[in-house]
Each structure stands twice: as C-alpha cells, then as structure tokens.
Amino acid sequence: MSKSADAPITEDLDWREVHERPSPSTMAIEPMRREAKEVTTAVFENNFNVDLDDALSSRSRKLQRELERRLGITYPDCPQCQTEGEWGQEPGEPLICYVCWEGPPEDIRHEVHRQWKRIFEVRDDE
C-alpha cells in the first residue's frame, strides 16, 4: 500500500495511511504547504467518516503548526481574553477565539487572515 502523501484525498483513503505520512519536521516547506492546503481543504469540503476526518484534522494541525514555526508566524492576542493566537474558523462562519468564543474586531481578523495566507498561499524566501 502506498504511503505517498500524494495519494488523492477521497472517502476511500485509508485513515491509517494518513498517520503513516512523514513527520512535518522532516519535510521541505513547499511540499508541506501544498499538503496543508490540500488536507485542510479536503476536511472543509467533505463529510468523511469519523476516523478519516480525525486523521486528516490532526494532520492538518500538525502541518500548520510546523509551518507556523518555520515561517515564524505569530498571531495577535485576543482582545477579550488575552489568549495568544487561538483563532479558528469553520467554513462559512466568522473568525472566533477558541478560548472565549468571541469574534475579534476587523483589524485583528484581517491580521489573522494575513498570517493564514502566508501559510497556505504565499511563497516566502526559505
């Protein structure tokens, strides 16, 4: 069975294969960025079975954390609860703080989205 991270993400993907993918810490930035975008989009757009959804969500978080670390990405603090960078957003929903569940003002929302764009879309000099 292939352990390639290039296997297409469909409901037929074996969730165990997702856990066998290479550790993000061993990956180059561009493949990691491509996979992060692919995995995150797949989770957003599909209703996978629970095991596959869990595996992909976990993979997405690991890839994102490693990209944040390597690209030096930091997020603004929440003005409500002062927690740093626990921002999240479900598809079609507004950005919220995952600690106090408040939505931030416009300037913070803009900054969080700018940082996410650095992770998923923009090429940095490595």
- Where do contacts with Zn ion occur on this chain (CB under 5 A)? 78, 80-81, 83, 97, 99-100
Closer residue to Zn ion, CB minimum distance, 22 or 79 = 79
Query: Residue 5 in 3-state DSSP?
Result: coil
Shortest distance, position 106 Cβ to Zn ion, whole Å: 16
Spatial contact of 83 and 99, defined as CB atoms under 8 Å apart: yes
| Nearest-approach distance from CB 78 to Zn ion, in angstroms | 3
Helix, strand or coil, per DSSP, at residue 12: coil
Q: Which two tokens stand for residue 24?
A: 């993000």
Length of the chain: 126
| Minimum CB distance to Zn ion, residue 98 (Å) | 8
Residue 96: strand, helix, or coil: strand
| Closer of 16 and 113 to Zn ion (Cβ) | 113
Q: In this structure, are residues 67 and 37 in contact, taking their beta carbons and an 8 Å threshold?
A: no
What minimum distance in Å lies between the beta carbon of 58 and Zn ion? 23
Which is nearer to Zn ion, 57 or 83 (by Cβ)?
83
Residue number, 71 or 99, with CB nearest to Zn ion: 99
Give the three-state DSSP class for 84. strand
